[in-house]
Structure 1
Amino acid sequence: MCNPLTPDAYRTIHAGSDVSGASGRRQEFPPAPEPLPVPVVDNHTHLDYPDGKAPVGLKAALDAAAAVGVQGAVQVGCDLASSRFTVQAVEQDERLLGAVALHPNDAPRYAARGELEDALGEIERLAGHPRIRAIGETGLDFFRTKGEGLAHQKYSFRRHIDIAKRLDLTLQIHDRDAHSEVVQVLREEGAPERVVFHCFSGDEELAKICNREGWWMSFAGTLTFKNASNLRAALAVADPGLVLVETDAPFLTPHPYRGRPNASYMVPYTVRAMAELTSTDLGRLCAGISENTVRAYGSWAA
């Protein structure tokens, strides 16, 4: 059962927030879910991405999430502009921690302009902020990047690993169609102490590797998609102490609202699916996710 969109935070989010889908129809944010019994954190979101025609302010987005038991979020940078935004955002609202990086698909673009080294240098400087707790999202993406760009992508990934290790920050992995290669690079370089596979997209085999290595697996709304049997098999074998949850908002809205804009307040839909799939008490699952998140990123209060 869903809550009506009555709190001011939801009205703020919904005002002017229609988006046009492929069919040309205007789409709205989905209804708010029932609040979670124990608060959790959205482990990965992009608050700088405009949702529809009107951007949603930080406070409105976080208030909406808090109303349903999502007490904070990790705001994630993908390039220099979004990483700079991330630093500003974590200074504006204590419910946010941040991650900064050059996305795997952006690294070749910086390289083509001769700007990759300077960009990596700025990422390292931004990562020195005390509320930036992760380097990410970084990794490999063999779906969108091809040919010559792959060499730049792999080089950038290795450099991000080095930054995370030297600054003792968590590494947040973007892995698309590159599971074995991501694992190989992590082993060659020596993984940082804390590694999170953002929007976990692997299968049972990768989950078992993460279990052995102590790498966190962050599940998104994709877990609820009908064609995601690999993710459900992975969750079934995942060490509960290594499980996180995220939205990757405004993308990857969980079923039955797939295709509509996503936001941190949608986390409970995914958490409830996780509880059902693993036959776990919802409150116990939420408490475990919350503990795991603090171990991955540190305290939001610090």
Structure 2
Amino acid sequence: MSDALTDEAETLSNKAAKKRRRREPPPDPAPLPGLVDAHTHLAACGGRDAGSVRAILDHAQAVGVDQVVTVADDMVDARWAVVAAEWDDRVYAAVALHPMHAGDLNDETAAELEQMVRHPRVVAVGETGLDYYWPGKSDDCASPEVQHETFRWHIDLAKRVGKPLMIHNREADRDLLDVLAAEGAPDTVIMHCFSGDRNVARECVDRGFMLSFAGTVSFANAEELRVAAELVPDELILVETDAPFLTPHPYRGQPNQSYCLPYTARAIAEVRGVSEEEMARLLGANARRAYNIPLP
């Protein structure tokens, strides 16, 4: 075989190996007891029925992740999340309309969401907020104006039911914080998958908001996130997977599930200069306090 053909074959082989690796789930981390996955999407992880949800939670619990909060993006997902939380007592739900689906809010869906959020297994209103990345890129995404209106409705709902507000924020830092200030934030605000810089982090901390960090905090290009994770006070930090997305380093791009949470918790412990066991206890305790969920 010529050198050119050999090089081409090696390139194709490397591409196939990389594609195959992206389909493979990461190996199990060493157990790290006491964790709570503060934000995941069980249905998108394959948890479509009681048996598959139980399997995901059994896998997570084997490495120390005792409880999870599964989060809705739209009305179908919200209905499913409530049912999933009834299937397994390790699962809790958060329901809302994601900013992309903000246009789905009407009298009927508002009434149904309010009924769902009062369910005892629903622990937060979320994820809601602003997303300035997708408008113009996707015909299915609500406009910023519609997002603002729906976000304000969710803020009011969280205050009326007395449950945490779980925030989705993508490229909308200033406007999102201004809306929260104008409307008056609920007692507990959780900045899901925090992605801001140190200045945004400080402003959130000054307002008493909780910052939840996903696998992105472990990425090589995420120095600002690591600064943010270091400056957050102990009582305001959470950890999440946002599974099946944002798998932590060194498994970036591979399928994510709640069992991968110890990788991110250990990355945060390293940034904060504390033991991984102490970090896990703190992160778990914060999630249980924020969501008002009992010890397992």
Q: TM-score, normalised by structure 2?
A: 0.88
- 1:117 corresponds to which letter in structure 2? D
1: CA distance between counterparts of 2:278 and 2:90? 22
2: CA distance between counterparts of 1:56 and 1:30? 22
Residue 300 of structure 1: CA displacement?
A: 3.4
Match of 1:29 among 9, 25, 30: 25
In structure 1, the residue matched to 2:190 is 196
Match of 2:134 among 134, 138, 144: 144
Deviations 1:90-125 (A, max 9, x none): 1111101110000001113x2xxxx63322221111
1: CA distance between counterparts of 2:243 and 2:93? 15
SS in 2 for 1:130: coil
2: CA distance between counterparts of 1:116 and 1:149? 15
- 2:129 corresponds to which letter in structure 1? G
Residue 50 of structure 1: CA displacement?
A: 4.5
In structure 2, the residue matched to 1:291 is 285
Asked whether 1:279 is paired with 2:261, we answer no
Asked whether 1:97 is paired with 2:92, we answer yes
In structure 1, the residue matched to 2:10 is none
In structure 2, the residue matched to 1:62 is 57
2: CA distance between counterparts of 1:82 and 1:126? 12
Say if 2:124 and 2:165, in contact at 8 Å, map to a contact too: yes
Q: Which has the higher helix share?
A: 2
SS in 1 for 2:254: coil
In structure 1, the residue matched to 2:72 is 77
2: CA distance between counterparts of 1:214 and 1:208? 10
2: CA distance between counterparts of 1:264 and 1:277? 21
What are the residue-to-residue correspondences of 1:244-259 with 2, within 5 Å? 244-259=238-253
- 2:210 corresponds to which letter in structure 1? W
Say if 1:49 and 1:55, in contact at 8 Å, map to a contact too: no
Change (3 A) 1:27 1:55: farther
1: CA distance between counterparts of 2:180 and 2:258? 29
Residue 148 of structure 1: CA displacement?
A: 7.2
Say if 1:253 and 1:266, in contact at 8 Å, map to a contact too: yes
Residue 287 of structure 1: CA displacement?
A: 1.3
1: CA distance between counterparts of 2:254 and 2:262? 16
2: CA distance between counterparts of 1:280 and 1:149? 43
Residue 56 of structure 1: CA displacement?
A: 7.9
In structure 2, the residue matched to 1:8 is none
Change (3 A) 1:24 1:269: closer
SS in 1 for 2:97: coil
Say if 1:222 and 1:254, in contact at 8 Å, map to a contact too: yes
- 2:201 corresponds to which letter in structure 1? A
Say if 1:51 and 1:250, in contact at 8 Å, map to a contact too: no
Asked whether 1:118 is paired with 2:114, we answer no
Change (3 A) 1:24 1:34: closer
Match of 2:199 among 200, 205, 212: 205
SS in 2 for 1:192: coil
Which of 144-153 and 246-255 deviates more? 144-153
Change (3 A) 1:142 1:239: same
2: CA distance between counterparts of 1:205 and 1:94? 38
Change (3 A) 1:51 1:259: farther
Say if 1:51 and 1:261, in contact at 8 Å, map to a contact too: no
Structure 1's unaligned 5+ residue stretches are 1-20
SS in 2 for 1:105: helix
Q: How many residues align?
A: 276
Which of 183-192 and 147-156 deviates more? 147-156
Deviations 1:246-297 (A, max 9, x none): 0000000001111111000000000111111111111111111122112210
- 1:33 corresponds to which letter in structure 2? P
SS in 2 for 1:49: helix
- 2:56 corresponds to which letter in structure 1? A
2: CA distance between counterparts of 1:189 and 1:122? 23
User: Percent identity among equivalent residues?
Assistant: 45
In structure 1, the residue matched to 2:231 is 237
- 1:139 corresponds to which letter in structure 2? G
In structure 1, the residue matched to 2:6 is none
Say if 1:73 and 1:97, in contact at 8 Å, map to a contact too: yes
Change (3 A) 1:56 1:138: farther
SS in 1 for 2:168: strand
Deviations 1:41-86 (A, max 9, x none): 000000011449x998110000000000000100101100110011
